A = this chain, B = another copy of it.
């Protein structure tokens, strides 16, 4: 349990998206109804598929993932979450999840009991709309992942993911100048890209040799953003960022 300054818990929620359109009273209501702040260790499963979920989780620090296992036990990541993401808000309207959620590194999260959400949302259709919107961002990213797996080769898949994470982390102030911390191992990248870890290793080498990017010791450095985006066929429109052109300029300037 960590003490946080009032108004800080949701500080990154929808940041870079529509946070500026949120009603301050709605934000205050959300802040007031948090039921707990928790720290969780590395590689811990938070929620298992099928079990009833009675609370929802906003990621404050660290990286979480959602995944599904195939019969042989091989994991497919279906989402990677960064701070500010309302990770399992899907469980609120649905009542259970169809996949597992787990930490990758250590994380800090805030949780809301679904009952508390019910109470604050009933009289606040606009806030409910915002939460709805935030789950649709997940859906948009899911679609992009389908595209990534269905149409891109191994290099493109890795490049696309690295570009997406840069953009998302930049929105919440966690990526600057083309470099960001990413506490994944190569096997995690493989599970996100539908590849083997051996092949991800080769892809990373190729990207390094082409001087497009590096990924070492949990840190990504993008060396040639335009080329990396071409390789990954990355167009950030699906992230529904506030100021896509301004972000693009800022990033170009920083590179």
Contact = CB atoms under 8 A, between A and B. Distances in A.
A66 B194 CA distance: 22
B98 A132 contact: no
B70 A237 contact: no
How many copies of this chain does one complex carry? 2
A237 B98 contact: yes
A205 interface: no
Interface string A142-168: 111111011110000000000000000
Interface string A27-52: 00000000000000000000001100
A74 interface: yes
A149 B39 CA distance: 34
Interface in A164-196: 193-194
B143 A98 contact: yes
A93 B135 CA distance: 10
A67 to B, nearest CB: 9
Interface stretch (A121-129, A210-218, A219-227, A247-255): A121-129
A157 to B, nearest CB: 10
Interface of A: 49-50, 66, 68, 70-71, 74, 76, 78-79, 90, 93-94, 98-99, 121-122, 125, 128-129, 132-133, 135-136, 138-140, 142-147, 149-152, 193-194, 233, 237-238, 240
B76 A150 contact: yes
Given A98-B238, A132-B135, A68 B143 contact: yes
